[in-house]
Amino acid sequence: MRISVILVLSSAFLCGSQALQVKTDPAEEVVVVEGQKNVNLLCLIDEPMDFCIVKLPGAPAPFAASDKLPAPVEGITYYGLPWSSGSCGITIDTIKPIHDGPFECTVSVKGQTYKGQINIALSAVAPEPPVIELASNVDSRNGEFEFGKKVTMKCVSRNGWPGAKLSWYLDGVKLTEDVGAEFSETSNRRTTVQQIYRRAIAVEDNRKKVTCRAEHTAYPGGFMETSLPIKLKKVYTNEKPEVQKEELKESVKPKPPQLTVSSIVAQRNGAFKVGSNLVVQCVSKDGNPPAGFLWFLSEY
């Protein structure tokens, strides 16, 4: 009989130990937005705590969450009842991008440690409206482009979370050729995305629009667009250009041609040294139209 009692008591003790666990409030996850005020994170257990250590995303190191000690992290205060009540937690004064991630609490009860976790999920942040930038070597004042000239365009979507997805359109038709890969850069949970599109401007592009679309869950309607109108500086048509007729002028006989000869070697009685360089110039003045020239080399 005595053995049975011992077994029953041991079984009850084990069941009680296994049942002890940390509960959190909120449970499992809390969705927040940047700038949200006074966000409470609480850990609870059914026994008095010996201590409570918390790990907060963005904090340099874990720290004790206690009603008797100030938190070593700026913008963080204690939240909850004393440890003796099986409670410990913190209040985040203002949510920042660095707070995104798992919040963990480690509590000690009678020499045993137990852990709880709340995932802090920072909701999506809409990026700035997309913009189209042109290469600096493109003369596009007032949206005017030169026929046949290849233009490099860059679409940029700045400071979104997560980054936007970019695509290009010409008068509503999606472009796939000559579209570069997306390049993204992330800093402090803000992503800037950019993409290059190159196009040789054709005659049929005149008065069309190149559009960059940025898709993001935080945009109203799911996307925002920006467009660049194309206007050719010179529009070529099938119309024949008007021929400008020049007024006829009276022909004027030119003056007789004259030869001038120069050489770095002095001549003797009109004779030049073999192998020397000569410059011979024929000049005819005051003719309308100008005179033409024919050259002959005669032997004496």
Q: Report CA-CA distances (Å) from 155 to 57, 149, 159, 222.
A: 33, 19, 14, 17
> What pLDDT does residue 8 have?
40
Helical (H) or strand (E) element with 89? strand 87-94
Residue 52 and residue 30 share a domain: yes
Residue 138 and residue 105 share a domain: no
Q: Is residue 80 one of the residues assigned to a domain?
A: yes
pLDDT at 246 over 70: no
Q: Is residue 169 one of the residues assigned to a domain?
A: yes
**CATH number of the domain bearing residue 159:** 2.60.40.10
More confident residue, 208 or 9: 208
> What pLDDT does residue 6 have?
39
Domain that holds residue 93: 24-122
More confident residue, 280 or 41: 41
Q: Is residue 9 one of the residues assigned to a domain?
A: no
> What pLDDT does residue 15 have?
43
Residue 107: other Cβ atoms inside 10 A: 25
C-alpha 155: how far from its chain's center?
8
Token representation of residue 148 = 């046949």
More confident residue, 239 or 209: 209
Q: What is the pLDDT of residues 34-87, one digit of tens each?
A: 889 999 999 999 999 999 999 999 999 999 999 999 999 999 999 999 999 999
What's the whole-model pTM score? 0.50
Which of the listed residues 98, 122, 146 is the one where a domain comes to its end? 122
Total number of domains in the chain:
3
Using CA atoms, how far apart are residues 257 and 132, in angstroms rounded to an integer? 64
Residue 98 and residue 36 share a domain: yes
